[in-house]
Amino acid sequence: MTHTENSQVQSPRSILDARPEHSADSPVSVHAMTVAYNRKPVLWDVDYDAPSNALVAIVGPNGAGKSTLIKACLGLIPRASGTVEFWGKPYKQSRSLIGYVPQRESVDWDFPVSALDVVCMGRYRKIGWCRPVTKSHKRAALEALARVGMEDFATRQISQLSGGQQQRVFLARALTQEADLYFMDEPFAGVDASTERAIIEVLRELRANGKTVIVVHHDLQSVPEYFDHVLLLNMRVVAAGPVSEVFTAENLQKTYGGRLTLLAEAAEAVARAAKGT
């Protein structure tokens, strides 16, 4: 773990040392987190306090560690160093308040279950060990399917759904978790236009109900339109804050290392959004 020690020596800590390590009202507060795969760090010294009641995009190039950040927060992969707190408490005590949408490609969609079965999985914590899924839980799952416009597909086997429909099933499953904070890993990846609209509608609904949603996002153009806050990531936090302040050409240049052809276009989108609002 020599990498970690080095990085802690090198990074300027004076500002951070002056304040408490974790903010108790932040839905998720990451402090000095380093994550390594096979001892090779993929995320260095992440410090981040997510705002309450906001839609947050995590943006960065391939291999920037966007998914890794989410998974490390949820304890799905081990952290080499650092801590994560949710509303000032460790993950184990706040689990019931957190929902998760994994990457669609991470599962085998030929699995012999229906859309409704998958959505019901979001209720398993509430149902408890070795108990069957009752009617009331099924009703909650059907309601969640209706919220993403998928009520007619409840009994479909999941391999018969299109990519966008599969993504909506995953979203519905997270909705049944009735969480206050959601992590979503690339929910907009490879979906059709109507699914994208359905998802963003659900995200706005969640925000209107006081929830926080942290989304790994790959489409720079839509960041200003969809999100309030942005976290620019490239193995380290390049910048984080409100989209209007942070989502600048300069910061994107820093994040993507200048090899980005969409940069100019995205910067224009920011300018347009700033004028519009």
Partner 1 sequence: MSDPIVDANSIIETLTLQGGFNTNAVILGTSLLGVAAGVIGAFALLRKRSLTADALSHATLPGIAAAFLISSALGFSGRSMPVLMLGAAISGILGVACIHLILQHTRLKEDAAIGIVLSVFFGVGIVLLSVVQSSTSGSAAGLNHYIYGQTAAMIRSDAYLMGGIGIIASLIALIMLKEFMVVCFNESFARSMGMPVWLIDSIMLALVVLITVAGLQAVGLILIVAMLIIPPAAARFWTDRLWKLVLFSALIGGLSGYSGATISALFPRKPAGSVIVLVAGSIFILSMLFAPTRGVLADTIRRIRLRVRIARDHVLESLYEIEIGHVGIEHPKAASWLIQLLCFKGWIERNNGKLNLTETGRTQGQRIHRNHLLWEQYLVSYADIAPTHVDWSVDQVEHVLSDELIHALVLALKKRGLTIPPLDGGTS
Instruction: List all residues 6 or more positions away from 114 whose beta carbon is below 8 Å from its beta carbon.
Output: 154, 155, 156, 157, 158
Answer for which of 117, 154, 186, 188 binds partner 1 (CB under 8 A) is: 117
Site string for partner 1, 54-73 (x = CB under 8 A): -----------------x--
Count CB neighbours of 40 within 10 A. 7
Q: Is 76 in the site for partner 1 (CB under 8 A)?
A: yes
Stretch binding partner 1 (CB under 8 A), from 16-24, 116-124, 232-240, 269-277: 116-124
Count CB neighbours of 95 within 10 A. 15
Of the pair 98, 191, the CB lying nearest partner 1 is at 98
Site for partner 1, residues 92 to 111, rule: CB under 8 A: 92, 95, 98, 100, 102, 106-108, 111
Of the pair 45, 185, the CB lying nearest partner 1 is at 185
> How far is residue 259's CA from residue 270's CA, in Å, rounded to a whole number?
19
- Amino acid letter, 40: K
Site string for partner 1, 123-152 (x = CB under 8 A): -xx-x-xxxxx-------------------
Enter the tokens of residue 165: 């429909």
Shortest reach from residue 125's CB to partner 1, in Å? 5
Shortest reach from residue 164's CB to partner 1, in Å? 12
Among 177, 180, 174, residue whose Cα is nearest residue 26? 180
> How far is residue 81's CA from residue 1's CA, in Å, rounded to a whole number?
9
Shortest reach from residue 90's CB to partner 1, in Å? 12
Q: Is 90 in the site for partner 1 (CB under 8 A)?
A: no
DSSP labels, 82-103: EEEEBTTB-HHHHGGGEEEE--
Angle formed by the axes of helices 249-256 and 263-276, nearest 10°: 150
Q: Is 113 in the site for partner 1 (CB under 8 A)?
A: yes
Q: What pairs with residue 48 in β-bridges?
A: 30
Judging by beta carbons within 10 Å of its beta carbon (0-12, 13-18, 19+), is residue 133 exposed, middle or buried? middle
Site string for partner 1, 145-184 (x = CB under 8 A): ------------x-x-------------x---x-------
Q: Which residues bind partner 1 (CB under 8 A)?
A: 71, 74-76, 92, 95, 98, 100, 102, 106-108, 111-114, 117-118, 121, 124-125, 127, 129-133, 157, 159, 173, 177
